[in-house]
A = this chain, B = another copy of it.
């Protein structure tokens, strides 16, 4: 191994697995690409990319439909598998559906992984709108600072992990309401801890408000969050700061109870 300039050695990795993963990312982003298009995005010759794509097709990650490479349906099955082995999903699934029915809005079950938030499950009632937004939300990993669920989780993480995240990330401003500086964010998080729920007042996208509550373990470790998202017009101040938080917290508590009685590993 060649030692780094600063004497540290890089940990050993399998380069071809990384390359394979890169190609999967490109195929995902392109939503259907030809060999030429895909190799244009990757710093390898088309011959090499060709071999990778054949291998990925063989392994069932990619399929070729109508001359274009796409991610295969196998990911749907893999996604369901991950869900069903996740205690939080099993415990929360029905509660989320219920909350969606009763509020009529979009409801999310969120977990944390690799210092990002991940959507475990989404359900919506019949008044829910802005489907395109939620589509994006479901598909791309999100940060903590500009969503209600994210802030609810971040507020309840052990302080060392919270510090690490606050230091590691630049907080991009999605709207003029987004909190972009660490000190203000810290204050908000302290508030959230006190009152038990988090708000998102058009901080992620204009015209949408959200309320989120953390889901805690039997030993007070945060394992996820629930959130309800609705247009500001339907979440007037009173509902936004009183009625809805109550409901969201209630749902979070229900999930906590399910988690504890089930004793399924998260």
Contacts and interface: CB of A to CB of B under 8 A. Distances in A.
Given A21-B61, A58-B18, A63-B114, A84 B135 contact: yes
Contacts of A125: none
A17 interface: yes
A143 to B, nearest CB: 14
B118 A77 contact: yes
Interface string A74-102: 11111111111110000000000000000
Interface residues of A, number: 56
A218 B82 CA distance: 36
Contacts of A113: 63, 72-74
Copies, count: 2
Given A14-B16, A14-B52, A265-B32, A118 B74 contact: yes
Interface in A240-266: 265-266
A165 to B, nearest CB: 16
Contacts of A104: none
Interface of A: 11-21, 28, 31-32, 51-52, 54-56, 58-61, 63, 65-66, 70-86, 111, 113-114, 118-120, 135, 138-141, 265-266
A63 to B, nearest CB: 6
B17 A73 contact: no
Contact of A14 (B51, B80, B83, B84): B51
Contacts of A31: 85
A13 B51 contact: yes
A114 B135 CA distance: 27
Contacts of A119: 76-77, 80
A73 B78 CA distance: 10
B18 A59 contact: yes
A61 to B, nearest CB: 7
